[in-house]
Amino acid sequence: MKIPAVRFGLIGYPLDHSASASYFTKKFTSEGLTNYSYQLFPLKAVEEVNSLLAVTSGLKGFNVTIPYKESIIPFLTVLHPDAEAIGAVNTVLVKTSGTGTRLIGYNTDAEGFRRSLPPTLSHRNALILGTGGSAKAVAFTLRKLGLNVLLVSRTERSQTTKSYEELTRELMHQFTFIINCTPAGMFPDLKGTPPLPLKWLSPGHFVYDLIYNPEETLLLRNARKAGAVTKNGQLMFETQAELSFRIWSEQ
């Protein structure tokens, strides 16, 4: 008897940078899951998720990336409490029964980020570059760890969000843990970088870029040259992927 196909995937646009399909294909092969597959679904609009579900048989779950981590929420049946608190989803469980299909939204970015942090993180003030879904997950995690968080945006302004032009020497001296949650510098935009005032970086800074492709972004290269400790998003990517698969497998 033929074993039914079990499918997973990633929605977002564009998806040229993503290593998700490669990661899961290797995982399924190594674990002998011959009927499992993972596919990239580059959707030009989040509304296309409905037609994707209609035509993709065996789809048990999918990940969500830029730019749909927030806009996917209205299409979901229910949210896990953490995803609801964060306001962003990167993992969706598809549950199909005789009564229809339910989409359950989770956020594994937050826990994936937490597990990727050094066990002896000494920084108490964090500067988060970006205000999208990934930034929301990072902010949620750091606040739970007791850090003071300030977001930086090109367009938004609020009590907790500054513009890049407002980053002074004093703020840069105070906020020594810097996390890039923007796509600036992600493949294929290898020359892109957030407009951070690099002249105020020092060996006392820790610069973490959630991007993992390329392995070292221009931001990380410049931060390293300034003497800062640097880290890319590879471990976070792998950890959130494993957490996503656990959700899909245990339901």
Q: Which residues are catalytic?
A: 69
Alpha carbon of residue 225 to chain centroid: 26
Q: What is the rounded CA–CA span in Å between residue 68 and residue 90? A: 9
Q: Of 77, 119, 110, whose CA–CA distance to 94 is shortest?
A: 77
Degrees (nearest 5) of the Cα angle 21, 6, 61? 65
Q: What is the rounded CA–CA span in Å between residue 168 and residue 164? A: 9
Handedness of CA 112, 23, 247, 51 (dihedral sign): positive
Q: What is the rounded CA–CA span in Å between residue 138 and residue 179? A: 8
Q: What is the rounded CA–CA span in Å between residue 31 and residue 216? A: 30
Pairing between strand 100-106 and 91-97?
antiparallel
